[in-house]
């Protein structure tokens, strides 16, 4: 019958030697039509496999739904129900809800009575069990986390059909400065394409939600003027991660300008704390120190220390809520701008940079383990030598005021870490 490549797609393309016998002709016709039917099914299946499973650009096409149906809609609606005795509660879609910042922000909103729905794609960038456990904690608090990708336009539209979100807290991202060298496409996919998809769906929603989204201190890149102010240059990114975060800011501005979406960007400065990300220094160092392994501490190329404006998660959460509470309504509706909308950008840092070597000293004291450290020059892979936030704008407009210094914050992190990783801990309690 030949190989796959020569299977006929249409009956008339099937050539055969005719028999003189009429019955043979009939048999052949039947066989031919069976063959045509089989080949059509085959082509159809091949089409399905290619477009719905293999094609890299299918994320906007309907995929096998792990969402939808009356039960699912009930859970979505229930999660976004308010429980606030006074005030005007928000209805917030939190993207990246099972991420580090996403979990904390979702919990804080729910606790004060806002309606919250999470969405997370549970990718495997780091330990999926940590993400699943965060989702369990959220579920127990009454927050449902929909499993799905922000690139899935059908899912996002469905969510906006079911719920009239007043706000979107966009925290889903491909994070990590150093991993960006290894997998740049993943950053473009989440931080640019995914964000644009979310903005597209949001601008078409009626009512349009106000958008608060996570940017990063890394957008300051090679800026050497300290402390970093929102007025400083952000056109010299030093990492692929930073470039995608900066691109996100530009898209946010464009959607604000064209469609009247209210947008607020938050530039986070190296956030740490309980439930933190395992790819970040605080978590990585703690894990290796406890195992007695040597850790690698970067120093700047001139031998000086590398410093970060480490910011405690509890302070970041207050900044996020402040941004949501002061966000004005979008002005557009159904994709049409009706007037200028609010456009803001804020630094959320701690305003007291600490050398990484000092971070290690504090961990050494808290963990009571002698640290084996290897000091090596900072790799030329996008890391920056220092970060330092000027937070006066956030103080003035959001009432943002960080209160947790690095030692106090690390104490809370270490307590959580030991508890979470305790072999005696029954994981079902989370």
Q: What CA–CA distances, in Å, run from 386 to 26, 124, 139, 243, 408?
A: 82, 29, 38, 17, 21
Within 10 angstroms of residue 28's Cβ, the number of other Cβ atoms is: 16
Active-site amino acid positions: 241
Q: Residue 167: helix, strand or coil by DSSP? A: strand
Cβ distance to ligand UGB smaller for residue 43 or 378: 378
Cβ distance to ligand UGB smaller for residue 325 or 358: 358
218: its two tokens = 């890394």
Cβ distance to ligand UGB smaller for residue 153 or 378: 378
| Calpha distance 97→91 (Å, rounded) | 14
Smallest distance, Å, CB 216 to ligand UGB? 3
Helix count (H) and strand count (E) of the chain?
Answer: 13, 13
Question: Which of the 8 DSSP states describes residue 328?
Answer: P
Smallest distance, Å, CB 55 to ligand UGB? 29
Smallest distance, Å, CB 179 to ligand UGB? 9
Cβ distance to ligand UGB smaller for residue 117 or 171: 171
Smallest distance, Å, CB 115 to ligand UGB? 27
Cis amide bond preceding 227, omega within 30 = yes
Smallest distance, Å, CB 124 to ligand UGB? 17
Residues that bind ligand UGB (CB under 6 A): 175-177, 216-218, 268-270, 280-281, 284, 296-298, 306, 308, 356, 378, 383
**How many angstroms from the chain centroid is the CA of residue 200?**
17
| Calpha distance 385→306 (Å, rounded) | 5
**Which residues, at least 6 apart from 309, have a Cβ–Cβ distance to it below 8 Å?**
217, 269, 270, 349, 350, 351, 352, 353, 354, 387, 388, 389
- State the distance between the two ends of the chain, measured CA to CA, in whole angstroms: 59
Smallest distance, Å, CB 134 to ligand UGB? 17
| Calpha distance 292→297 (Å, rounded) | 15
149: its two tokens = 């990708």
Smallest distance, Å, CB 142 to ligand UGB? 28
Residue pair 164/208 in contact (Cβ under 8 Å)? The answer is no
Question: Which of the 8 DSSP states describes residue 51?
Answer: I
Cβ distance to ligand UGB smaller for residue 203 or 308: 308
| Calpha distance 401→312 (Å, rounded) | 11
Cβ distance to ligand UGB smaller for residue 288 or 325: 288
Q: Is 69 buried (19+), middle (13-18) or exposed (0-12) by CB count in 10 A?
A: exposed
Cβ distance to ligand UGB smaller for residue 73 or 405: 405
């Amino acid at each position: 019958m030949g190989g796959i490549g020569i299977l006929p797609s249409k009956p008339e393309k099937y050539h055969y030697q005719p028999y003189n016998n009429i019955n043979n002709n009939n048999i052949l016709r039947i066989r031919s039509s069976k063959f045509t039917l089989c080949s059509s099914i085959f082509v159809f299946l091949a089409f399905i496999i290619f477009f719905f499973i293999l094609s890299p650009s299918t994320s906007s096409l309907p995929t096998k739904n792990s969402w939808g149906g009356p039960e699912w809609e009930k859970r979505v609606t229930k999660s976004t129900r308010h429980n606030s005795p006074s005030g005007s509660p928000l209805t917030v879609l939190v993207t990246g809800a099972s991420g580090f910042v996403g979990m904390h922000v979702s919990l804080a909103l729910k606790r004060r009575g806002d309606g919250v729905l999470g969405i997370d794609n549970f990718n495997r960038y780091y330990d999926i069990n940590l993400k699943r456990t965060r989702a369990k904690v959220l579920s127990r608090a009454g927050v449902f986390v929909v499993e799905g990708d922000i690139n899935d336009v059908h899912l996002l539209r469905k969510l906006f059909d079911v719920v009239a979100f007043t706000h979107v807290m966009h925290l889903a991202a491909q994070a990590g400065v150093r991993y960006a060298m290894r997998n740049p496409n993943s950053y473009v996919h989440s931080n640019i394409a995914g964000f644009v998809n979310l903005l597209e769906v949001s601008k078409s929603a009626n009512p349009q939600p106000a958008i608060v989204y996570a940017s990063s201190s890394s957008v300051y890149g090679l800026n050497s003027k300290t402390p970093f102010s929102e007025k400083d240059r952000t056109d010299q990114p030093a990492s692929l991660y930073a470039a995608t975060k900066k691109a996100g800011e530009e898209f946010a501005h464009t959607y604000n300008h064209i469609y009247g979406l209210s947008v607020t960007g938050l530039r986070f400065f190296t956030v740490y704390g309980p439930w933190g990300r395992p790819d970040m220094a605080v978590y990585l160092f703690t894990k290796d120190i406890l195992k007695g392994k040597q850790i690698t501490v970067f120093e700047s190329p001139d031998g000086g220390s590398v410093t970060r404006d480490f910011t405690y998660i509890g302070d970041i959460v207050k900044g996020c809520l402040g941004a949501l509470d002061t966000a004005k309504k979008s002005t557009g509706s159904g994709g049409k701008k009706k007037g200028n909308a609010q456009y803001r950008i804020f630094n959320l840092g701690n305003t007291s940079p600490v050398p990484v070597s000092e971070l290690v000293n504090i961990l050494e004291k808290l963990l009571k383990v002698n640290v084996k450290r290897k000091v090596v020059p900072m790799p030329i892979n996008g890391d920056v030598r220092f970060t330092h936030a000027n937070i006066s704008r956030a103080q003035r407009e959001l009432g943002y005021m960080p209160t947790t210094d690095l030692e106090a914050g690390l104490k809370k992190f270490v307590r959580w870490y030991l508890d979470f990783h305790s072999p005696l801990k029954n994981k079902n309690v989370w």
